[in-house]
A and B are shown apart, each in its own frame.
Chain A
Amino acid sequence: MVDFARVQKELQECNKDIDVSGISIKPKGDNLTHLAGTIPGPLATPYEGGTFNIDIILPDGYPFEPPRMQFATKVWEYQAGNNETLKGLLVTTLYIASISVYTPAMLCSVALLHMVLTRHPNISSQSGAICLDILKDQWSPALTLKTALLSVQALLSAPEPDDPQDAVVAQQYLRDYQTFAATARYWTETFARTSALGVEEKVQKLVEMGFPEALVRSTLESVGGDENMALEKLCSG
């Protein structure tokens, strides 16, 4: 049984100094087992300026068992490719938001090649799972949701590519840091900033990608205004 009284206190404490930490935690539904956290990207990193959404699920044994945390800021990966044709196409999708050259169908076939979240060696590009010891065996009831989110934020500042969650990204981090950093930065700017956008800006952005406005509006509404979820839904038809 989750200790809800404690969770309640945790949320209050955390949201009290939201102006200082930038970290927020809100309930996702009517009960306190599913929460949504946000962390600001740390300064002087490719994640600076972004706001990252963390999906939090509290297991029955909380606070004895660690909270389950996953990155939920969804972005699309381009394949750092070995196929020349694909490479050109995919790289271009990075700019798709501003230059709508491709039809939605083309965009989808490209985007669906790889759906990832936040580009980081210790974050799975498939599930958003975070490789962090305190979320596993090093968890302690002495920690809180907020301190866990602070550790996730610290992980963004100091990746540990030698203990990767995502081997491919870790390899790029080690072998070609420039490309890694540029990609991570681009994604931050393109996707992790959008949560702050107004509805009209989101609609406009998706329309610019080539989706019909009516469909964009209804899709956005159906996913509660989450632009990335809307894009995912639009792409999956």
Chain B
Amino acid sequence: MQNQEGLQADAEMASVTPIQATEVEDWANFRDDDIMQQQSAIRAVEAEKIPLVGDKEPLSSLAAEYQSGSPILLEKIKVLSEQFDAIRRTRGDGNCFFRSFMFSYLEHILESQDREEVNRITGNVENCRKTLQSLGYADFTFEDFFALFLEQLESVLQGNEASISHDELMQRSRDQSISDYVVMFFRFVTSGEIRKRSEFFEPFILGLTNTTVEQFCKSSVEPMGEESDHVHITAVSDALGVPIRVVYLDRSSCDTGGVSVNHHDFIPAISDAPSGTSGGSETKPFINLLYRPGHYDILYPK
């Protein structure tokens, strides 16, 4: 009986195998190269729609987007426009949080010329470098990215040979290679901070993805194009000591019927927050980001 079954199975295999073989061949035609090429073609189409970092637009352009959309959102945009007067969009390529953060920070330094802040963050960048080294990262994997960020930071400070204008900052932020290097710098910083304080981050990561801290950093922080979540924002804000305000534009409404816009301030856990805020007074973030489910843009307060 068993033998018979065996034979039957063999016979089935015999008749099935050739078909499978061609199926496999067909699949084999979809080489990884082809798939990756297609992905980059999709990205290219996306790239034509919006630059990595867009122009500053009045907040009314946001309202225009939802013209025939949810009334709650339109109400909320109205509330938003009481506090903010402009928005700068970033490309939705999975790096939008880090890119928004990059531009917003460098633009702030360019406009404020706050050397004290530059010195402060430079110190923190050095600490991040040490963190990565102590975690066992080879220097050559991250040094280029660190160097490029520090170079950008240096160049937005005026008064030296390498100083750049706002237009130049815009251009560099839209230059894929410079922009991506800085994004990758932030990813290194974020990953290093999460790994260094893995006990603190572990419960959040477990809640988010049910993976280990190590695995999370490898699969959701370090690869380009992986979207950012609270965990990333908390880590990068803590590591660099830069407070970040995220304003949420979604359909949620409060019980009372009135419409309000929620925001969350990420205040660095480490106490060396930007200068001028000593004495434990509430730090007001100078980085304002607009979050719509799945995407971050930059907001400009009035």
Contact = CB atoms under 8 A, between A and B. Distances in A.
A binds B: yes
Interface of A: 3, 6, 9-10, 13, 64-65, 68, 82-83, 124, 126-127, 129, 133, 135-144, 166-168
A66 B131 CA distance: 25
A142 B24 contact: no
Given A3-B144, A68-B33, A140 B20 contact: no
Contacts of A13: 138, 140
Contacts of A10: 140
B7 to A, nearest CB: 12
Contacts of B25: 126
B31 A82 contact: no
Contact of A6 (B10, B144, B187): B144
B180 interface: yes
Given A13-B140, A68-B33, A127-B28, 7 more contacts: A64-B180, A136-B35, A140-B223, A141-B141, A142-B188, A142-B191, A168-B21
Contacts of B33: 68
B64 interface: no
A110 B230 CA distance: 59
Contacts of A141: 141, 145, 184, 222, 224
A138 B218 contact: yes
Given A136-B32, A138-B223, A141-B145, A82 B14 contact: yes
B138 A127 contact: no
A139 B223 contact: yes
Interface string B24-46: 11011001110110000000000
Contacts of A144: 138, 140-141
27 contacts: A9-B140, A13-B140, A64-B184, A82-B14, A82-B17, A83-B14, A124-B28, A127-B28, A136-B32, A136-B35, A136-B36, A137-B225, A138-B219, A138-B223, A140-B187, A141-B145, A141-B222, A141-B224, A142-B141, A142-B188, A143-B141, A144-B141, A166-B24, A167-B20, A167-B23, A167-B27, A168-B20
A182 B222 CA distance: 39
Contacts of A140: 187, 218, 222-224
Interface in B29-80: 31-33, 35-36
Contact of B24 (A6, A65, A167): A167
Interface string B116-145: 000000000000000000000110111011
Nearest to A135: B32
B13 interface: yes
Contacts of A83: 14
Given A10-B140, A126-B28, A167-B20, A142 B222 contact: yes
Contacts of A127: 28, 31
A83 B141 CA distance: 53
A144 B32 CA distance: 19
B218 A129 contact: no
A142 B188 CA distance: 8
Contacts of B35: 136
